[in-house]
Amino acid sequence: MASISRPHHHEKCPRCGSALVSIEWDERVNAREVQDLWHCWNCKNEFVTTVTSGEKEPSVTEITAPFFTSLLVE
């Protein structure tokens, strides 16, 4: 039996609404997205979902340094 250990909400077939679906395969398309190919056992439909990791761009670091310059010399 297919048991995928990674957390994943159970998909439903977009055609018939059945929950009798299982992952045929999955493929990482880039650093943050994984595409799953699902197979519906009820109506034999196949569909693809894209799972994103839900993370924001990790490269953004907050710059909180005060940027006003106190160069006004009187």
CB under 5 A: which stretch of 1-9, 35-43, 49-57, 64-72 binds Zn ion? 35-43
In whole angstroms, give the CA distance from residue 45 to residue 28: 22
Contact status, residue 34 vs residue 51, Cβ threshold 8 Å: yes
* Contact window for Zn ion (CB under 5 A) among 3-11, 24-32, 41-49, 57-65: 41-49
Question: By CB neighbour count within 10 A (0-12 exposed, 13-18 middle, 19+ buried), where does 22 fall?
Answer: middle
Binding of residue 19 to Zn ion (CB under 5 A)? no
* Residue 22 sits in the site that holds Zn ion (CB under 5 A): no
Nearer to Zn ion, 20 or 29 (CB): 20
